Amino acid sequence: MWLAQQGSLCYFSTKENKRLVLIEGTKLADAEILDFPQGRTTLQGTKEKAFEIRYKGEQDKPEATILSVDGGGDEEYNEWVKRLKSAERMDIPTMQLGGHVAELRKFVVSVKNRRQKVDEDAKEQFAPVFKEMLWKLKADGDRMKPEDWFEREMWISKNGSLVYYSKKEERDLVYYTSADLMRATYQKVPDADSYKPFTFQVILPEADGVEFAPGDFAANSDDLRAKWIQEFQKGASGAGGGAAANRV
């Protein structure tokens, strides 16, 4: 496992045979890094150092990942905790776990939710130019299960981002920035492959060799699906190509 330059906690999946994001930097910035006092008991009966990362998951629900540092001792454990806590300052040179393996108590294959907070000073830039109800598949959800879909009012903002209002946080959050949408590709999903008709995917390209899972959305009509895809593309291109400036 390693911390990437953008602050994400990444790992290599032997099952998928590729590098994946476990927890994105935007989530680590608001996460709690806590000592896990129980530690972890190995097959040999020894106790090893462990820490817990608590962060907000899909639909603002709390999630936690517990990692143990196998054989690393206090020094390596302290270094990992220090580096993870520095995520809020984005002061993270790439750091790897060396020859040791961090065991995941909760295994997360991919992270879909890319929420970022909208600054009050920049709120005007995130005002809607196109707003409709949109269905979203929850993280690691099954497209064929109705309970894995939820509906939100979402909009394309003036600066080309995809934004929604979080009732729990009582503020606007960015789901995809204009830079994300500018680089993304869009793909319609056949009705036979989804419980929701008019499903489509937002597919982000690799970043630093890490692949992101596609975002699955569903509109309320075929015309609205075409309109959403058109607005995604138009909003991103109309943002003027200032990818860095459009990040929250």
pLDDT 10s digits, 38-49: 655 554 455 667
| 68 and 159 part of one domain | no
Q: Which of 76, 116, 87 is nearest to 28 (CA)?
A: 87
Q: How many domains does the chain have?
A: 2
CATH number of the domain within which 131 lies: 2.30.29.30
Are the C-beta atoms of 202 and 181 separated by less than 8 Å? yes
| 130 and 214 part of one domain | yes
What's the rounded mean pLDDT across residues 98-122? 50
What pLDDT is stored for residue 28 in this prediction? 80
What pLDDT is stored for residue 245 in this prediction? 32
| 167 and 207 part of one domain | yes
Q: Is residue 111 part of a domain?
A: no
What pLDDT is stored for residue 80 in this prediction? 82
Q: What band does 188 get if pLDDT is binned at 50, 70 and 90?
A: very high
What pLDDT is stored for residue 58 in this prediction? 65
Q: Is residue 72 part of a domain?
A: yes
What's the rounded mean pLDDT across residues 89-108? 40
Q: Is residue 160 part of a domain?
A: yes
Are the C-beta atoms of 69 and 76 separated by less than 8 Å? yes
Which residues, in sequence order, are CB contacts of 74 under 8 Å at separation 6+?
49
What pLDDT is stored for residue 11 in this prediction? 81
Q: Is the pLDDT of residue 115 over 70?
A: no
Q: What band does 248 get if pLDDT is binned at 50, 70 and 90?
A: very low
Q: Which residue has the tokens 């790992």?
A: 11
Nearest-angstrom CA–CA distance, 76 and 79: 5
Q: Is residue 191 part of a domain?
A: yes
Give percent of the chain with pLDDT exceeding 70.
Answer: 71
| 90 and 125 part of one domain | no
Give pLDDT tens digits for 124-175. 889 999 999 999 998 778 999 999 999 999 999 998 899 998 877 788 888 8
Give percent of the chain with pLDDT exceeding 90.
Answer: 24
| 96 and 127 part of one domain | no
Q: Could you tell me which residue, 38 or 248, shows the higher pLDDT?
A: 38
Q: Which residue has the tokens 């045979």?
A: 17
Q: Where are the alpha helices (DSSP H) in the chain?
A: 25-28, 73-85, 178-183, 222-238
What pLDDT is stored for residue 46 in this prediction? 54
What's the rounded mean pLDDT across residues 105-120? 52
Question: Which of these three, 80, 104, 128, is where a domain ends?
Answer: 104
| 188 and 157 part of one domain | yes
Q: Is residue 92 part of a domain?
A: yes
Q: Is residue 245 part of a domain?
A: no
What pLDDT is stored for residue 237 in this prediction? 63
Q: Could you tell me which residue, 200 or 62, shows the higher pLDDT?
A: 200
What pLDDT is stored for residue 7 in this prediction? 75
Look at 21-25, 48-52, 175-179 and tell me which has the smallest mean pLDDT: 48-52
| 126 and 228 part of one domain | yes
Question: Which of these three, 43, 71, 104, is where a domain ends?
Answer: 104
| 221 and 144 part of one domain | yes
| 129 and 17 part of one domain | no
Q: Is residue 243 part of a domain?
A: no
Q: Is residue 110 part of a domain?
A: no
What pLDDT is stored for residue 90 in this prediction? 45
| 121 and 205 part of one domain | yes
| 66 and 155 part of one domain | no
Residue 163 is part of which domain span? Answer: 116-238
| 11 and 55 part of one domain | yes
85 CB-contact burial (10 Å; exposed 0-12 / middle 13-18 / buried 19+): middle
